[in-house]
Amino acid sequence: MERILISGISGAGKTTLSRRLQDRLGLPHHELDALHHGPGWTRRARFEADVESFSAGPRWVTEDQYHSVLEDLLWRRADTLVWLDLPRRTVMGRVVRRSVSRALTRRELWNGNRESFAQWLEADHPVRWAWSQYARKREKTLERIGRHPGLVVVRLDSPGAVRRWVSGVSG
């Protein structure tokens, strides 16, 4: 496991798991949200170039996102896919708690951006997105797995399965 892609719907724990694998395996973690979001939630002009650059390297861990921009670039370059295929109720609990915390604390996320309760009304807000796109994300993940047969796939379907798997990973 040298180039790891973490897949799952918003709130599944992709970034959290990426950071844990960074610590356990010494892999550089490249957070796609931080690379994508410029000030005012605008897309950074260097997003694609930054992803192209780090993913050409021999070792990394990152989140599976931004397919409309990246297509299957990360899927082609990864050697391992860790799919956080968690139950909808688990994901929704996590994404709601995360968004409430972010909106209450107003802590900076990326490049000066902060989450607000007003953003919950937007169709692409993580809470709304996780609910409306849950089934579609699972279907798309299965399709992509089928298109990349050489990829080692680790499918984790519960928080306990994630904890057990991570505890067995060593660098």
What is the CATH classification number for the domain harbouring 21? 3.40.50.300
Query: For position 20, what pLDDT does the model report?
Result: 97
Cα–Cα distance measured from residue 129 to residue 120, given in angstroms and rounded to the nearest whole number: 10
Domain-located, residue 171: no
Which are the contacts of 79, defined by CB distance < 8 A and separation ≥ 6?
1, 2, 3, 4, 151, 152
| Residue in 82, 93, 78, 94 with CA at minimum distance from that of residue 148 | 78
| Alpha carbon distance 68, 102 (integer Å) | 26
Whether 73 shows a pLDDT value over 90: the answer reads: yes
The reported pLDDT for the residue numbered 70 is 85
Pure H helices in 42-168: 47-55, 67-70, 73-77, 88-105, 126-147, 159-168
Confidence of residue 50 (pLDDT cuts 50, 70, 90): very high
Distance of CA 140 to the CA centre of its chain: 14
User: Cα angle at 7 between 4 and 13, to 5 degrees?
Assistant: 100
Distance (Å, whole) CA 141 – CA 72: 11
In a domain, 100, yes or no: yes
Kind of pairing between the strands at 80-84 and 152-156? parallel
28 within 8 A of 53, measured Cβ to Cβ:
no
Region 145-166 average pLDDT: 97
Inside any domain, residue 153: yes
Over residues 101-113, the pLDDT tens digits come to 999 999 999 999 9
75-99 average pLDDT score: 97
How far apart (Å, rounded) are the C-alpha atoms in residues 115 and 101? 9
What's the mean pLDDT when you consider all of the chain? 95
pLDDT at site 71: 85
Show the tokens assigned to 99. Answer: 């968004």
Domain count within the chain = 1
Q: What is the mean pLDDT of residues 14-21?
A: 97
Q: Is the pLDDT assigned to residue 171 strictly greater than 80?
A: no
User: What is the average per-residue pLDDT within 126-139?
Assistant: 96
Read off the DSSP letter of residue 118.
G
Q: Report the predicted TM-score, pTM, of the whole model to 2 decimal places.
A: 0.94
pLDDT of residue 68 exceeding 90, the answer is: no
Task: Please give the pLDDT value at position 67.
Answer: 87
Domain with 98 in it? 3-166
